[in-house]
A and B are shown apart, each in its own frame.
Chain A
Amino acid sequence: MIEVKHLTKAYGSFVAVKDISFRAERGQILGFLGPNGAGKTTTMRIITGFMPATSGTVEIDGLDIFTNSLEARRRIGYLPENPPLYSDMRVEAYLRFVAKLRGVKRAEIDDALDHVLKVTGLADMAHRICGQLSKGYRQRVGLAQALVHNPPVMVLDEPTIGLDPRQIHEIRELIRGLAGDRTIVLSTHILPEVSQICDKVVIINDGRVALEEQIKDIPAGTSLEEVFLNAIAREGHPEAASAEETLEEVGAGHSA
Chain B
Amino acid sequence: MRNTLTIAGKELTGYFVQPVAYVVLTVFILLGGWFFFAMLRQFDEMVQLVQMMGQPETLKQMNLNNRVIDPLLHDLSIVLVIVMPALTMRVFAEEKRTGTYELLLTAPVRTGEIVAGKFLAAAAFTLVMVALAWIFPLILMVFGNPELGVMFAGYLGLFLLSLAFVSVGLFTSSLTQNQIIAAISSFGILILLFVISWPAEAGGGAVWSVLKYLSLPEHFSTMTRGVIDTSDVVFFLSVVATALFLTQRSVESARWR
8 Å CB contact of A52 from B6, B103, B256: B256
State whether the Cβ of A82 lies closer than 8 Å to any Cβ in chain B: yes
Known: A86-B14, A88-B17. A102 touches B99 (CB 8 A): no
Question: In the complex the two chains form, is B98's CB within 8 Å of A87's CB?
Answer: yes
**In the complex, which residues of chain A have a beta carbon less than 8 angstroms from the beta carbon of B257?**
11
Question: In the complex the two chains form, is A70's CB within 8 Å of B106's CB?
Answer: no
State whether the Cβ of A71 lies closer than 8 Å to any Cβ in chain B: yes
**In the complex, which residues of chain A have a beta carbon less than 8 angstroms from the beta carbon of B101?**
84
Question: In the complex the two chains form, is A80's CB within 8 Å of B107's CB?
Answer: no
- Give Cα distance in the complex from A103 to B14, angstroms: 21
Question: In the complex the two chains form, is A88's CB within 8 Å of B107's CB?
Answer: no
Query: Nearest Cβ in chain A — how far from B216, in angstroms?
Result: 32
Question: In the complex the two chains form, is B102's CB within 8 Å of A70's CB?
Answer: no
8 Å CB contact of A145 from B2, B7, B103: B103
State whether the Cβ of B110 lies closer than 8 Å to any Cβ in chain A: yes
State whether the Cβ of B10 lies closer than 8 Å to any Cβ in chain A: yes
8 Å CB contact of B107 from A86, A87, A93, A101: A101
Known: A71-B108, A73-B107, A101-B3. A50 touches B100 (CB 8 A): no
**In the complex, which residues of chain B have a beta carbon less than 8 angstroms from the beta carbon of A88?**
14, 17-18
**In the complex, which residues of chain B have a beta carbon less than 8 angstroms from the beta carbon of A73?**
106-108
State whether the Cβ of A74 lies closer than 8 Å to any Cβ in chain B: yes
Known: A70-B110, A73-B107, A102-B107. A84 touches B98 (CB 8 A): yes
Question: In the complex the two chains form, is B108's CB within 8 Å of A51's CB?
Answer: no
Query: Nearest Cβ in chain B — how far from A251, in angstroms?
Result: 40
8 Å CB contact of B99 from A76, A84, A103, A145: A84
State whether the Cβ of B60 lies closer than 8 Å to any Cβ in chain A: no
Contact with B along A62-99 (1 / 0, CB 8 A): 00000001110110101011111111110001000110
State whether the Cβ of B124 lies closer than 8 Å to any Cβ in chain A: no
Question: In the complex the two chains form, is B102's CB within 8 Å of A78's CB?
Answer: yes
| Most chain B beta-carbon neighbours within 10 Å: one of A73, A76, A100, A145 | A100
State whether the Cβ of B109 lies closer than 8 Å to any Cβ in chain A: yes
8 Å CB contact of A80 from B6, B10, B103, B109: B103
Query: Nearest Cβ in chain B — how far from A99, in angstroms?
Result: 9
State whether the Cβ of B31 lies closer than 8 Å to any Cβ in chain A: no
**In the complex, which residues of chain A have a beta carbon less than 8 angstroms from the beta carbon of B99?**
80-84
Question: In the complex the two chains form, is B110's CB within 8 Å of A101's CB?
Answer: no
Known: A84-B98, A86-B14. A101 touches B105 (CB 8 A): no
State whether the Cβ of A189 lies closer than 8 Å to any Cβ in chain B: no
Question: In the complex the two chains form, is B102's CB within 8 Å of A45's CB?
Answer: yes
Interface of A toward B, CB cutoff 8 Å? 11, 45, 48-52, 69-71, 73-74, 76, 78, 80-89, 93, 97-98, 100-103, 145
Q: Please name 13 further chain A to chain B contacts, defined as beta carbons within 8 Å, in addition to the given A51-B255, A76-B106, sorted by A numbering.
A: A45-B102, A48-B106, A70-B108, A70-B109, A70-B110, A78-B103, A80-B99, A86-B10, A86-B14, A87-B98, A89-B10, A97-B6, A101-B104
